[in-house]
Structure 1
Amino acid sequence: MRFLSYTKRVLPCGARVVFRRMDSPLVAVNLWVRAGVKDEEPEKNGISHFFEHMVFKGTVHFPGLLLSRRVQALGGTLNAGTSLDTTDFYLVVPREFWKEALALEMELVTQPLFDPEDIEREKMVVIQEIHLDEDDPEERLARLLYERVFSNTPYGLPILGREETVRLFTREDLLRHQERFYHPANMVLAVSGDLQEGELFAFSEELFGSFPAPRELDTPLFPPLPSPERQIVECVMDVRRFYGAIGFLCGGIKSDDCYLLRLLSLVMGDGLGSRLNVALREERQIVDTIHTTYSYYEHAGIFAIFFTFSRGNLEEIEEAIRGEFTRLTYFVPTDEELKRAKNLLKSGFFSATETTLGSAELLGRLDTIDSIDRSLRALFEIERVKPQDLVEVARRYVDFERGTSILIKPGE
């Protein structure tokens, strides 16, 4: 793993700092927080995403438009993202401004203004996002799938929240969310660029020391995962073709099966040469598109097959998909198929580490929801994976008697 050498240190305050030295004129500063949808109470669904929006409305030293002007003055790019597990903020700047960038990112999460008028305006922005997602068949398909596969857990809730929850957010809600989750022991700082390691750690420790001391607060416990059961959900949208998905509850990033499921997804449904594409799209021509995904999170994962079709029916397509997974048992992946999947997996990983931002995002996310060391060790053990291993992992999780099927049909 010498190509991805990095240093990780736990500061006295509890924050973890991960650094990758890269020969680049740019430095990426990526701050990760263990706060996402999984940590939200149902009546506060969407607060993590709303918090992310609101910090960009100004801080104590850079109110309003002064924040974006400061970022531009540094020649930087500032953005953020919210997921089921995390919220992260990144700033990419020329190397000479890395200290200013790090200080600014810390101010974003420690001293946001949360102006009440800005809060009311931003509610309408987020509600518009929610409506746009509801009108997008692919977004709605994924939303319905997660809602059913992860039922009765926070993973089944939408990242953006619901209109009725967003409308009720208050400044006090944002301050409480900040107090509960935005403290050093709940953060990972990932930095990539041409810096001196010792200087970065010293400056990071100094900045994290400015955080207010956290109160003793209850950490939300993730509820038990549901027992998979057969579910079929159909709905109608103003679309011109059918959108379908079949999903299966799986282990998450900490599962020993994580990389096996990623390889299985690549063999079965990644690219025109994958098994499902050849059988259903090229030979039988019963789908317009088809692909598989394996999405992994801290507490669970979901293996899914997504497809679209203009003619035919869901039962015929599902039977054909089931047949291909049954066929996997008798015609195990060939050495060529497995090698292709391993190469695609490694290629995607290497591509992510070619830039400072890609490196910081990869290292930061892995160490926030798991451990970089364990995740990377598992990645480099994929060379030991044999064809029969993919057959076994498919048997463990891809059970069509307990899968969730979603279909969006054209109509009024």
Structure 2
Amino acid sequence: MSSIPATSLLRRRLHHSSTSNGIRRILSTPTRARASRSLSTFSSYEYPNRTEAPEVTRTIAKEVGDKVLERGSPLTPETVHARGADDDDRFDDLGRLSAQDRLATKSKLPPLNTTLSGATAIEPTAPAYIPVLSSHDKLKVPTTEITCLANGMRVVSQETYGQVSTVGVVADVGSRHEPQWGVAHLWELVAFGATQRHSSGLEIQELLQDWGGTRFVNTGREQSLVCIDILRPNVEKAVQLLQAVLLEPKFLPEEVEDAKRTMEFQSLDLPPELQMEEALQTAAYGLDQQLGKPHYCPMEHLSTLNADVLRNFWNHNVLAHPQDIVIGGAGIGHEQLVDLTLQYFGDWPSAAVDSKSAQQSVRTKPSLYRGGQCFLEKPSSDGFTRVALAFELDGWHSEDLVPTCVLQTLLGGGNSFSAGGPGKGMYSRLYRQVLNRYQWAESAEAFTSIHAESGLWGITGSSQPKHSRDVIHVLADHLARLSMELVTDEELDRARNMLKCNVLTQLESRLVLFEDLGRQVLTYGHREDMDTTCRKIDAVTKEDLQELARKAIQKPPTLAAVGEGLDKSNIPSQEEVARWFQGI
């Protein structure tokens, strides 16, 4: 007796009981007749929610011809021939109107050659501000151009030959420079508020909508960014608005109070990942140093913020330092951007308030890495405990910057569940050797946090609280192995290719290009071309990665955790973790 797979038996049982018996019991005679013709193709295994067989219709292409069926009509010869003279009634696709209603509706529609009031005719020639469409061999290859103005400001731009431009400002000011916690975060929320020429932020928002633009603001620990993405004809209006936002802000008390309420809500609902980042910086550098201060204002410090504090911060750190400002543009000619900058920002020193420059001290004070631990007992909505283990690396000007990025890409990682297709690091080391191996590991991901004088490199992970110690053991093991064993050629090639792919793909975005232009010029004084960057990535060797990891683990580790159950049984101390790496 031949064996039959269980799935085949299930299909036969469902087909027999739901189709044959069910149809005989509850369906009408016409329906049974139609169903009997389709029994060969219908089963309730394939259509589990159907109580009758689907109606299967067939027709031949030549019977349809060039006729267009009504939306939702079954494709049968009868429906095709029944349309008759009403084939041109496209406004009644569902066939819900009577013949009289269709005629009445058609009589109210204007003819197609009607002239619309207020419409602008398409001119035969494009306006001067729109780049001429030409083949790529006739266009100049876009390059980065930089100009330094007399007041110390720098202007950087790169053409994209598009119809939309991004212009903005990158400033050397961040949360490390604030006298009171949360001032930089407060400015991020009121940046496009009232100015000397605009009564409120709502007025600015309406102007941007009229101009076809949108604005972006971001503050970090060291740099801040404000930009406008706008239709190319309105670039000058955008630069003029940036002048008002940067040089003429009012910082109205009512707008500041609204922003503080927003900060309060954000503090109550700060994602665990951001809490982890804050804890990691505090553990690595300490609250008494600039890099160890929190970027997001703690709830208990909101009462210390007001309009005067924000105004003093802005006057001291921005208006008094035009040399720490970069005007950037992506998708705009360099000469045009320089002219606009001279027109609206050329007299910046005379527009700035008296900042008592003789009494000013150096704004950026170097922070020394210490290493340590910071545990935040804050239950998360998903019930997971998040941990991070990190070591110090050098800052932005280090020769190890590119190898650090390659090593981060090689480790990769992410969440245990990842929706989507390939190309997201599923073959990185942390995915293959952690997430795919340990069922209790909910996430594992490498990270870097680079600053001017120092940086952090490590791995974060999450799990149920009872497995937090296991996660830290696994993370420490992988960091130690990098210092003792060479990575494989396959891993290195994959990491280098993926890093180049990520960098080049992101730079296809106009906003990312603007940010890269501004931040590189502000940090290095120039922008490195992509050919040079790719050559540096290709030059990284296995020995470079091993030496980088070996130097890193010689320093004290930094340990941070956010979640619940952070006792000694679940989380090892920083001193215990440091002993794990002794002798390596």
* Shared fold per TM-score greater than 0.5: yes
Q: Is the 8 A contact 2:175 2:184 kept in 1?
A: yes
Structure 1: distance between partners of 2:377 and 2:367: 28
How far is 1:378 from its partner? 5.3
The answer to which of 330-339 and 354-363 deviates more is: 330-339
Match of 2:345 among 208, 215, 228: 208
What is the aligned partner in structure 1 of residue 461 from structure 2? 307
Structure 1: distance between partners of 2:401 and 2:300: 36
Aligned residues: 404
* AA partner of residue 40 (structure 1): E
What is the aligned partner in structure 2 of residue 173 from structure 1? 309
Residue 327 (structure 2) pairs with residue 327 (structure 1): no
Q: Is the 8 A contact 1:275 1:324 kept in 2?
A: no
What is the aligned partner in structure 2 of residue 34 from structure 1? 172
- CA change 1:176–1:409 in 2 (3 A) is closer
How far is 1:238 from its partner? 4.5
Which residues of 2 match residues 242-253 of structure 1 at below 5 A?
Answer: 242-253=385-396
Residue 278 (structure 2) pairs with residue 143 (structure 1): yes
- CA change 1:327–1:207 in 2 (3 A) is same
How far is 1:402 from its partner? 2.1
How far is 1:410 from its partner? 3.7
Structure 2: distance between partners of 1:148 and 1:3: 47
Match of 2:210 among 62, 73, 77: 73
- CA change 1:382–1:70 in 2 (3 A) is same
What is the aligned partner in structure 2 of residue 16 from structure 1? 154
What is the aligned partner in structure 2 of residue 385 from structure 1? 540
Structure 2: distance between partners of 1:311 and 1:140: 17
How far is 1:97 from its partner? 0.6
Q: Is the 8 A contact 1:276 1:321 kept in 2?
A: no
* AA partner of residue 125 (structure 1): T
Q: Is the 8 A contact 2:213 2:230 kept in 1?
A: yes
Structure 1: distance between partners of 2:546 and 2:282: 28
Match of 1:158 among 294, 298, 323: 294
- CA change 1:88–1:261 in 2 (3 A) is same
- CA change 1:108–1:157 in 2 (3 A) is same
* AA partner of residue 259 (structure 1): V
Which residues of 2 match residues 43-58 of structure 1 at below 5 A?
Answer: 44-58=180-194
- CA change 1:185–1:72 in 2 (3 A) is same
What is the aligned partner in structure 2 of residue 90 from structure 1? 227
Residue 557 (structure 2) pairs with residue 403 (structure 1): yes
How far is 1:74 from its partner? 0.7
1:256-297: CA deviations, max 9, x gaps? 111111111111234332223222222343412211011212
SS class of match (2:342):
helix
- CA change 1:267–1:147 in 2 (3 A) is same
* AA partner of residue 156 (structure 2): V
Structure 2: distance between partners of 1:234 and 1:125: 23
* AA partner of residue 162 (structure 1): P
Structure 2: distance between partners of 1:54 and 1:232: 31
Structure 1: distance between partners of 2:515 and 2:459: 26
Gaps of 5+ in 2: 1-139, 414-424, 567-584
Gaps of 5+ in 1: none
The answer to which of 345-354 and 17-26 deviates more is: 345-354
Which residues of 2 match residues 184-195 of structure 1 at below 5 A?
Answer: 184-193=322-331, 195=332
The answer to which of 348-357 and 13-22 deviates more is: 348-357
What is the aligned partner in structure 2 of residue 61 from structure 1? 197
Q: Is the 8 A contact 1:80 1:90 kept in 2?
A: yes
With the length of structure 1 as denominator, give the TM-score of the two structures: 0.90
Q: Is the 8 A contact 1:24 1:356 kept in 2?
A: no
Q: Is the 8 A contact 1:238 1:411 kept in 2?
A: no
How far is 1:4 from its partner? 6.2
Structure 1: distance between partners of 2:529 and 2:507: 15
1:283-325: CA deviations, max 9, x gaps? 3434122110112122321112111123753333333333333
What is the aligned partner in structure 2 of residue 263 from structure 1? 406
Residue 377 (structure 2) pairs with residue 235 (structure 1): yes
Q: Is the 8 A contact 2:276 2:388 kept in 1?
A: yes
Structure 1: distance between partners of 2:259 and 2:509: 32
Structure 2: distance between partners of 1:45 and 1:225: 20
SS class of match (1:45):
coil
* AA partner of residue 268 (structure 1): L
1:77-101: CA deviations, max 9, x gaps? 1120100011111101111111111
What is the aligned partner in structure 2 of residue 361 from structure 1? 515
How far is 1:168 from its partner? 2.0
How far is 1:115 from its partner? 1.3
How far is 1:207 from its partner? 1.4
What is the aligned partner in structure 1 of residue 502 from structure 2? 348
How far is 1:186 from its partner? 1.7
Q: Is the 8 A contact 1:248 1:404 kept in 2?
A: yes
Structure 2: distance between partners of 1:117 and 1:29: 29
Q: Is the 8 A contact 2:285 2:367 kept in 1?
A: no
Q: Is the 8 A contact 1:236 1:411 kept in 2?
A: no
* AA partner of residue 201 (structure 1): V
Structure 2: distance between partners of 1:85 and 1:70: 30
- CA change 1:21–1:407 in 2 (3 A) is same
* AA partner of residue 147 (structure 2): R
* AA partner of residue 221 (structure 2): L
Structure 2: distance between partners of 1:252 and 1:28: 28
With the length of structure 2 as denominator, give the TM-score of the two structures: 0.65
* AA partner of residue 51 (structure 1): W
Residue 352 (structure 2) pairs with residue 197 (structure 1): no
Structure holding more strand per residue: 1
Residue 163 (structure 2) pairs with residue 25 (structure 1): yes
- CA change 1:58–1:161 in 2 (3 A) is same
Q: Is the 8 A contact 2:144 2:527 kept in 1?
A: no
Structure 2: distance between partners of 1:314 and 1:29: 45
Greater relative contact order, per chain length (Cα 8 Å cut-off, separation 6+): 1
Q: Is the 8 A contact 1:137 1:237 kept in 2?
A: no
- CA change 1:234–1:91 in 2 (3 A) is closer
* AA partner of residue 88 (structure 1): L
Structure label with greater radius of gyration: 2
How far is 1:356 from its partner? 2.0
Q: Is the 8 A contact 1:33 1:186 kept in 2?
A: yes
